[in-house]
Amino acid sequence: MSVLFIPTEILLQIATQITCIHTLHALALGNHRFHALFDPILYQQDARDGLLTAIRWASEHGKIKLIKKSLSHGARIPPHQTYPTFSEGKSRLVHGRMSSYYFEDYPSHPLCVAVENRHADIVHLLVALGGSIDMRNSQWQPLLSLAVIHGHPDMVRTLLHLGAPQDRDQYFNRNSPIQIAAFRGDEEIVRILLQHHNRNSNNNSSPHPNRPTAQQMQSALECALLQHHLHLVAPLLHSDPGVNLEFYFDFPQPYPRCTPLIWAVEEGQLELAQLLLRNGVDPNRPYGWDKPPLLRAVAKGHEDMIRLLTPITHRIQVTRALSLSIMHIPHPDELSAQILLENGAKPEFEKGDEAALTQHHSNQCLLGWTVELVPPLICAVSRGCISLVRLLVEHGADVNVGYDGRSLDDVPDWDEGGPLLLAMKMGNNEDIVRFLRGRGADEEAGKVRGRRAAELAEQFVGWSYTRPGAG
């Protein structure tokens, strides 16, 4: 007997013994009669299994009628994704942020599937049926982040309208919708998120406006910079003028103690640096032992950046930058030195600078113990650069400035004295010696240790001492 002619009662008995929904599905496709018999059993079996195979498939392909059909046969959709299974391992980049968490990949909730595939009608249905708008998928990404990751601006609008939050802190991953959009360089989605943020910010009736946190805004700015999506910087800054722009980048940092301004300087991004400075970034904030922005601009030879930063940088740091330009390897950077002097750089340090630097860096700082703390004229003489020596003296450098510090690389056996003594000891540039003598330089000048000893001795003039027990 052909299977097509098997009595209905026997077919129904057979169906009760089949637990594989794929087999039931194959039978339901046999003919109209088989479809009428096996299709309801297929959906009932799927509902009993609780795997939501039919609803998940329908959510992927936009078949809202199929979802309703499955529900009518007893399927129940949980309000949340199953809690993720994860382990910790080596950190790697996940949508622009470092993460050490690894999640087991298992079927996503139908609501997550609908979001990923841009089916707004199904999203509305599933949320109305109790699906959480604050749901996360198996990789612990919330719905709003999923829409951003898949580049669906209309879905982002839909989720925001339904109340999807932007400001949830992520324990298992450190991504946020605004940060992922900035990492991807998706200007349309960035603007949607920021406009919703601003619209809610102006709504005084909303006690908890749906906006990114300050830390999320900082992460978004960091990602935009590191990915060179500079067109996103202005929208991010203008949307939240109160955000702190002097934060340090996450690890791994592209440059030591990197901040947005440091990144702009290192990359030679003049317009970005100007924008950050207009928004209140301080070029004189303490950077520990790492070089502040102006010194980094000098190290990179970014001339326009030097012109921008010199007038607004503290005098001591500008003089440090001047010394650094002269000690530039392999040759002195005369152009940078000239730009610094033309923009107000003082050609030498002043009394009390050591104490000021120590307080600024929260650590002891002695003039002379790093190359940029050596007096500029001493640097120019040690490099044998007569043009720089003339330039510094013309701008007021003291030809008898004293030096007592580390041995210079060019003169390893000299660590105290003045410019003339140094030039004589080098013995390879008579032009510098003649120029300094002509400007009144003294061979004995600058011997700081002897002067300090004499000053110390003067303090004890007239003192007497009696040994204990004597007469």
Say which CATH topology domain 375-460 has. Answer: 1.25.40
Residue 66: which H helix or E strand, with range?
Answer: helix 64-72
Burial class (CB in 10 A: 0-12, 13-18, 19+), 191: middle
CA distances from 15 to 41, 307, 359 (A): 7, 83, 84
What is the DSSP secondary-structure string of 286-311? -BTBSPPHHHHHHHHT-HHHHHHHGG
CATH number of 273-373: 1.25.40
Taking the C-alpha atoms of residue 361 and residue 355, their distance in angstroms, rounded to an integer, is 10
Burial class (CB in 10 A: 0-12, 13-18, 19+), 62: middle
Question: Would you tell me how many other CB atoms lie within 10 Å of the CB of residue 96?
Answer: 22
Q: Which residues, 6+ apart, have CB-to-CB distance to 382 below 8 Å?
A: 374, 408, 410, 411, 422, 426
- At 207 the pLDDT is 47
Question: Would you tell me how many other CB atoms lie within 10 Å of the CB of residue 256?
Answer: 14
Outline which parts of the chain fall under CATH 1.25.40.20. Answer: 375-460
- Report which of 233, 241, 220 is spatially closest to residue 267, judged by C-alpha positions: 233
Taking the C-alpha atoms of residue 233 and residue 187, their distance in angstroms, rounded to an integer, is 10
Q: Which two tokens stand for residue 225?
A: 């910079």
Taking the C-alpha atoms of residue 65 and residue 55, their distance in angstroms, rounded to an integer, is 10
Residue-wise pLDDT for 403-455, tens only, equals 876 656 666 666 678 999 999 988 878 999 999 999 999 988 876 555 555 55
pTM for this structure?
A: 0.82
Using 70 as the pLDDT threshold, list the residues of the chain that sit under it.
1-4, 169-171, 197-208, 287-289, 359-369, 405-415, 447-462, 464-471
Q: Which two tokens stand for residue 343?
A: 């923009």
What is the DSSP secondary-structure string of 133-194? TT-B-TTS-BHHHHHHHTT-HHHHHHHHHTT--S----SS----HHHHHHHHT-HHHHHHHH
Taking the C-alpha atoms of residue 386 and residue 220, their distance in angstroms, rounded to an integer, is 49
Burial class (CB in 10 A: 0-12, 13-18, 19+), 85: exposed
Q: Which two tokens stand for residue 321?
A: 């930058």
Question: Would you tell me how many other CB atoms lie within 10 Å of the CB of residue 253?
Answer: 15
